[in-house]
Chain A
Amino acid sequence: MIHLLSGDPPRSGVLAAILALVLVGLAGAPFLFPGSQPLGTAANVCIFIVLVASYDLLLGYTGIVSFAHTMFFGIGGYGVAIALTRLGPTWGAVGVGVAVALVLSAVLAAAIGLISLRVRAIFFSMITLAVASAMAVLASQLSDVTGGEDGLSFQLPPSLRPAFRVLSEPIFGVTVNGRVLAYYLVFFVSLVVFLLLLRVVNSPFGRVLQAIRENEFRAEALGYRVVAYRTAASVISALGATVAGALLALWLRYNGPNTTLSFTIMVDVLLMVVIGGMGTMYGAVIGAALFVIAQSYLQTLMGAASTALAGVPLLPTLVHPDRWLMWLGFLFVISVYVFPGGIVGRLRKSA
């Protein structure tokens, strides 16, 4: 077990319990929470765990802020979407799409890293922001390839379609169809990528990244090429995001600018990392799970509260579902100041 976690256990009883709960919940989601909305939420949690964990490699472990993470997320999504649209709904097409997307992401991430990380890490943040927004515009303009603003809807390989029956008899009252199979594809790929990322940050390579984060000059003086390590981290992180994007496209049977490329998602990812806990990997699990569930259910609650408070001045606007981002912003600023370690850091401290 410890070996599987790369020798980096949760180091807190409460945290371990929460993680186990999330793992069990996600592993048994089709049976524990039947219905299409809960299953969609569970798949989203899995995908965002990968997306956020790969971002944490960059933000928490390497100490550089990228705004292009959703660009790689989008490349993964479009890779699968374009391949399945053009080549037809086969597993081969999925493979081609993912492979092309991974190569493209790696090349782009390396190019951005080599150009911008040479001088100052701060350039990287601004350049990634610029490149990512240019890509988002490009994706919505090249409508012949990407479907423009409408995005692309496509057919999945037959074995992932709802009509496909894996078992003829239902188990625990749930029909095991292609949809459930698709969920487990998402779940297991996410689990494997997460464990791989955990492996990376606990490897000698990951230690060097942390050394660079703590003291760039000392790491350089010790003989580590800071630019090379940072660029490598950026490439690995981009690959993680690409896989997450491919999974999302497979799950939704659709990819468009708003599902993967929008800046709002980038902000969400930042919030999840910071609230969950930067530089902990497990923070990604906690942050993503909390955030996605809150997003799916809390906004309804806020809407109800807003309607209930209709007579009171100002309050209804403040708890209106549209203001949800505002409260997250407050939470975000406060957590950067008060809990730099996020939820995970807090739990570990009290353990």
Chain B
Amino acid sequence: MTAGAEVSAPSTDLPKARRDWAPLAVVPALMLVALPLFGDMSAWVTLTLAGLAMGMMIFLMASGLTLVFGLMDVINFGHGVFISLGAYASLLVLGPLAGWGQANSPALNIALLVLCILAAMLVTGAVGVFFERIIVRPVYGSHLKQILVTMGGLIVAEQAIHAIWGASPITVAVPETLRGAFVVGDIAMERYRVAAVAIGLVVFAAMQLVLNRSRIGLLIRAGVENAEMVEALGYRIRRLFVGVFVAGSALAGLGGVMWGFYRQSLTPGMGMDVMVLVFIVIIIGGLGSIGGCFVGSILVALVANYVGFLAPKLALVSNIAVMALVLVWRPEGLFPVGRS
């Protein structure tokens, strides 16, 4: 409680905001605390690496949502459908180019994954434009209506996926190169998870660069602080909004592709299922904070993996427990975004 009060006080020291290290220390602390519980080093390393990879995938899916909330103050409960849509959109590539995935050529395999991701981002981005205009635009400013209307959009879009691709699960095969695992000593790392970590890190770095080092990012951050002022200075904040929403949708699509390959089967409700984790992550991270989303994803995935190994029945409840603990510590999440 006391820590929360101290943090939520607005920091006035300009120009450089104080780095908030405490939440960052939580992740390594958790890893260290978990270590003695295993007693077995290789199991711990394997699970930690698996957790990191899963965290990256959750981050990919969650980042778009928190970005959109941060800038536009819009909470999109229909975000999950973009995850499903992205995963299904990869079928557009996987169908005609199935041979590339089975070919014994790393170049073709990777190219296939990249094409899948591009197709998914293209489709989800395009649907995002549509979704923003039809569903979200009329309800700016009212959270209640946003939740209701985006839920409605979610139902319709999920049903559309049902109508187009059918309700039964579709299996997808991971490209040949990404199957199996790297084995170092008695530690096994699934190749696909390594790829997921790589993509997650690239996306995180790219987002940080764009947000902190580019003109667009400057405008977005300014828009988060005070949208009216940005508009008064002559920038079209609306166009920025649409751009961010599309980017958020495309990121969900990217996350959906990775998640779909990871699960190796697609169902129309897969996005909505994972949304539970996504919501937990962005609440833990602090609504609107990209860095918080990153830390939150890893935290949740690590806890889920550790608990899943030590006490499988508690796995899903453990996420809720983590969330409750974080909120008791910091009521606005690990990295509160300065806006009420």
Q: Interface on A for B, CB 8 Å cutoff? A: 59, 63-65, 115-116, 118-123, 125-127, 129-131, 133-134, 137-138, 141, 263, 267, 270, 274, 317-318, 322-323, 325-326, 328-330, 332-333, 336-337
> Once the chains bind, are B320 and A328 in contact (CB under 8 Å)?
no
Given the complex of chains A and B, what is the CA–CA distance between A138 and B148 in angstroms? 27
Cβ distance B198 to chain A, nearest Cβ, rounded Å: 29
- Contact between chains at B276 and A329 (CB < 8 Å): no
Which residues from B are CB-within-8-Å of A115?
A: 324, 327-328
Roughly how many angstroms separate A255 CA and B286 CA in the complex, as a whole number?
38
Find the B residue at minimum CB distance from A128: B279
- Interface presence of B143 (CB below 8 A): yes
Residues of A with C-beta under 8 A to B316 = 133-134, 137-138
1/0 contact string of B286-319 vs chain A (CB within 8 Å): 0100000000000000000000000001001101
- In the complex, are the beta carbons of B138 and A337 less than 8 A apart? yes
- The distance from the CB of A38 to the nearest CB of chain B, in whole angstroms, is 29
B151 and A119: CB pair below 8 A? no
Asked if residues B332 and A332 are in contact (CB atoms below 8 Å), the reply is no
List 26 A–B pairs whose Cβ atoms lie within 8 Å, in order of A's numbering. Answer: A59-B144, A64-B144, A65-B144, A115-B324, A120-B332, A122-B143, A123-B283, A125-B75, A126-B280, A126-B283, A127-B323, A130-B279, A130-B280, A130-B320, A130-B323, A131-B320, A134-B320, A318-B163, A323-B162, A326-B155, A329-B159, A330-B152, A332-B151, A336-B139, A336-B148, A336-B152
Which listed residue, B159, B280, B283, B324, touches A323 by the CB 8 Å rule?
B159
Measured CB to CB, the closest approach of chain A to B62, in angstroms, equals 11
Q: Nearest CB to that of A59 among chain B residues?
A: B144
**Interface status of B160 (Cβ within 8 A of chain A):** yes
Asked if B331 CB lies within 8 Å of chain A CBs, one says: yes
- Whether B151 pairs with A127 at a CB distance below 8 angstroms is no
The closest CB in chain A to the CB of B269 belongs to A263
- Complex: A129 Cα to B283 Cα, angstroms: 12
Cβ A122 vs Cβ B148 within 8 A: no
Q: Give me 18 other A-B pairs in contact (C-beta within 8 A), A115-B327, A126-B75, A141-B313 excluded.
A: A115-B324, A115-B328, A120-B287, A121-B143, A122-B143, A126-B282, A127-B283, A129-B279, A133-B316, A263-B272, A274-B148, A317-B163, A318-B163, A322-B162, A323-B162, A326-B160, A329-B155, A332-B151
Name the A residues within 8 Å of B320 (CB-CB).
Answer: 130-131, 134
B145 at the interface (CB under 8 A from A): yes
Q: How would you classify the secondary structure of chain B's contact residues: helix, strand, loop or mixed?
A: helix
- Does B153 belong to the interface (CB within 8 Å)? yes
Q: How far is the CB of A67 from chain B (nearest CB, A)?
A: 9
Chain B residues, Cβ within 8 Å of A329:
152-156, 159
CA distance A229 to B324 in the complex (A): 21
Nearest CB of chain B from residue A309's CB, rounded to whole Å: 15
Chain B interfacial residues counted at CB < 8 A = 41
Contacts of A130 in B (CB 8 A): 276, 279-280, 283, 319-320, 323
Q: For chains A and B in complex, what number of residue pairs have CB atoms within 8 angstroms?
A: 102
**Interface residue B7 (Cβ < 8 Å from any Cβ of A):** no
Q: How far is the CB of A60 from chain B (nearest CB, A)?
A: 10
- In the complex, chain B residues 150-176 whose Cβ is within 8 Å of any chain A Cβ: 151-156, 159-160, 162-163, 167
On whether the beta carbons of B156 and A65 are closer than 8 Å, the reply is: no
**In the complex, residue of chain B having the shortest beta-carbon distance to the beta carbon of A60:** B144
Q: Give Cα A332–Cα B152 distance, bound, in whole angstroms.
A: 6
Chain A residues with CB under 8 Å of B143's CB are 121-122
Cross-chain contact B159 with A270 (CB below 8 angstroms): no
The reply to whether the CB of B188 lies closer than 8 angstroms to some CB of chain A is no
Chain B residues, Cβ within 8 Å of A129 = 275-276, 279
Q: Which residue of A lies closest to B146 (CB)?
A: A122
Question: For residue B328, which residue of chain A has the nearest CB?
Answer: A115
Contact with A along B189-215 (1 / 0, CB 8 A): 000000000000000000000000000
- Chain A contacts of B272 at CB under 8 A? 263
Q: Any chain A CB within 8 A of the CB of B147? A: yes
**Which of B144, B167, B272, B324 neighbours the largest number of chain A CB atoms within 10 Å of its CB?**
B144
Q: Contacts of B159 on A, CB cut-off 8 Å?
A: 323, 325-326, 329
Specify which chain B residues have a CB less than 8 angstroms from the CB of A141 in the assembled complex: 313
Enumerate chain B residues within 8 angstroms of A127, measured Cβ to Cβ.
Answer: 279, 283, 323
Contact residues in A for B287 (Cβ distance below 8 Å) = 120, 122-123
In angstroms, Cα B276 to Cα A268, docked, is 19
Who on chain A is nearest to B273 by CB?
A133
Residues of chain A within 8 A of B331, CB atoms compared: 118-119
Task: Tell me whether B135 is interfacial, beta carbon within 8 Å.
Answer: yes
CB neighbours (8 Å) of A118 from chain B are 331
| Complex contact B323–A326 (CB within 8 A) | no
| Residues of A contacting B283 in the complex (Cβ-Cβ under 8 angstroms) | 123, 126-127, 130
Question: Hey, which chain A residues are within 8 Å of B317, CB to CB?
Answer: 134, 138
Decide if A337 touches B313 in the complex (CB within 8 Å): no
* B148/A65 in contact, CB under 8 A: yes
Instruction: Give the nearest-CB partner of B8 in chain A.
Output: A119
